[in-house]
Amino acid sequence: MSLIHQGIDIVDVEKFRAVLARNPGFADELFTEEERVYCLSRRNPTLHFAGRFAAKESYLKALGTGIDHIFQEIEIRATNSGKPEIVIKGWAAKMAERRKIRQCTISISHASRYAVASVLLTAE
């Protein structure tokens, strides 16, 4: 029998911009180097940082854990087509393995004020 786990999160982009401005090292704590390079290459980096933050929160909600110190272990990448995908490692990967997660689907949307992400995990 398959189980489906869902997580969703929404981020106010301007509030997120203010948090990043007050805490210059915060992006280094939340995002991998590859994510930072990608977001900083975009016209509105904060919008993309907010989307990735929402995606990571969505993943943690779908996984069923409230642990937020593993953001560096959850990486959001863009495929060649632009579709986002999640790459996990470390403790996050161990949790997914324990919960028998076999597939992960992610969607991220941006508007001028909000970024929203949804994650679906399929498990045995």
Region 65-87 average pLDDT = 89
pLDDT at 104 over 80: yes
Tell me the pLDDT tens digit for each residue of 31-70. 999 999 999 999 999 999 999 999 999 999 999 876 767 8
What the block records as the tokens of 116 is: 């929203």
Q: Rounded to the nearest 5 degrees, what angle is found at the Cα of 23, between the Cα atoms of 112 and 89?
A: 80
Q: Are strands 101-110 and 114-123 parallel, antiparallel or unpaired?
A: antiparallel
> Residues with catalytic annotation?
61, 110
Helix, coil or strand: residue 58 = helix
Residue 91's CATH number? 3.90.470.20
Which pLDDT does position 69 carry in this prediction? 76
Q: Calculate the alpha carbon distances from 45 to 16, 58, 107 in Å.
A: 11, 20, 18
What the block records as the tokens of 76 is: 């959001």
CA 88 to mean position of chain CA atoms:
10
Number of structural domains the chain divides into:
1
Q: Which helix (H) or strand (E) holds 28?
A: helix 26-30
Domain encompassing residue 109:
3-123
